């Protein structure tokens, strides 16, 4: 049984996600469909890449990951690729370059009917059937050549400072930054530090879990994805601390 995941910006109130899922089950009943999320903010490929990029490795190798976010930005095209033993199918809009530093050369463009009002459904069925049949990926379509590239914003570093941004606010309003643990340790070299954001009091300690501080108190820790996260124990950091997407978070070492 093939595992097929879906990550989309379709939402839950419309029929688009159900349309794709019904078509997939019509192609083969031996499919285990897993909804990663359909609540990616509309057209936001950065959030789509963040969610799938931090999720797919939890699934068994051989899983097929369907990504549908902002499919229709200009030149419509769909691609398929294999990375780290997983298969990926989605739009050629740069989203995969945000998941992988280099999507690589073995990327294939998927055919579709230009007159189809909802081609993602047909593209997904074709790709899943091909992969489930054990056919080589290089037979799924023509080589894609140069695919769309997007550059993810990286922290700015100096000898004693890291300046990053909030890249994701989760359901609990925890603010996740693009400052990774390895970078923090490399620049910090064991020194004391202060984490500054907005006009709030700096945080001068990295905790391990939320409950190491009293209820209602802010804290910082490295989450399961290895990124620096700012939270409030049993509270909403985004609302209480005024942290929003793209806000700067600065770490000063001394």
Q: How many residues does the chain have?
A: 254
Residues in the chain where the model's pLDDT stays below 70: 71-75, 103-104
Phi-psi region of 165 (alpha: psi -120 to 50; beta: other; left: phi over 0): beta
Q: Write out pLDDT tens, residues 29-87.
A: 789 999 999 999 999 999 999 999 999 999 999 999 999 998 665 567 899 999 999 99
Helix (H) or strand (E) holding 169: strand 161-169
What local confidence, expressed as pLDDT, does residue 148 receive? Answer: 85
Q: Flag whether the pTM goes above 0.85.
A: yes
What local confidence, expressed as pLDDT, does residue 53 receive? Answer: 95
Q: Which of 62, 57, 71 is nearest to 32 (CA)?
A: 62
What local confidence, expressed as pLDDT, does residue 103 receive? Answer: 64
Task: Determine the topology of domain 2-143 in CATH.
Answer: Rossmann fold (3.40.50)
Task: For CATH 3.40.50.10790, list the domain ranges present in the chain.
Answer: 2-143
C-alpha–C-alpha distance, residues 242 and 207, integer Å = 21
All residues at 6 or more sequence positions from 135 whose CB lies less than 8 Å from its CB, including other chains:
none
What local confidence, expressed as pLDDT, does residue 189 receive? Answer: 95
Task: For CATH 2.40.30.90, list the domain ranges present in the chain.
Answer: 156-253
Q: Give CATH for domain 156-253.
A: 2.40.30.90
Q: Which of 117, 108, 116, 158 is nearest to 138 (CA)?
A: 108
Q: Which of 135, 250, 133, 230 is nearest to 184 (CA)?
A: 250
């Amino acid at each position: 049984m093939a595992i097929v995941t879906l990550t989309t910006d379709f939402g839950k109130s419309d029929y688009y996600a159900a349309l794709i899922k019904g078509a997939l089950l019509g192609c083969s009943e031996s499919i285990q469909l897993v909804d990663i999320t359909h609540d990616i903010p509309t057209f936001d490929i950065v959030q789509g890449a963040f969610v799938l990029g931090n999720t797919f490795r939890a699934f068994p190798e051989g899983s097929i990951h369907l990504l549908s976010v902002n499919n229709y930005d200009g030149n419509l095209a769909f691609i398929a690729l294999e990375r780290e033993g997983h298969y990926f199918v989605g739009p050629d809009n740069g989203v995969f370059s945000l998941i992988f530093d280099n999507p690589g050369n073995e990327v294939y463009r998927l055919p579709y009917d230009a007159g189809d009002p909802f081609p993602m459904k047909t593209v997904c069925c074709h790709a899943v059937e091909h992969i489930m049949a054990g056919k080589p990926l290089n037979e799924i379509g023509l080589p894609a050549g140069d695919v769309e590239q997007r550059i993810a914003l990286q922290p700015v570093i100096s000898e004693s400072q890291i300046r990053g941004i909030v890249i994701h606010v989760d359901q609990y309003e925890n603010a996740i930054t693009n400052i990774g643990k390895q970078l923090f340790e490399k620049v910090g070299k064991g020194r004391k530090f202060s984490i500054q954001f907005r006009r709030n009091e700096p945080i001068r300690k990295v905790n391990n879990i939320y409950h190491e501080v009293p209820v209602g108190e802010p804290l910082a820790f490295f989450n399961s994805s290895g990124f620096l996260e700012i939270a409030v124990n049993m509270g909403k950091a985004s609302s209480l601390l005024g942290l929003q997407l793209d806000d700067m978070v600065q770490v000063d070492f001394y």
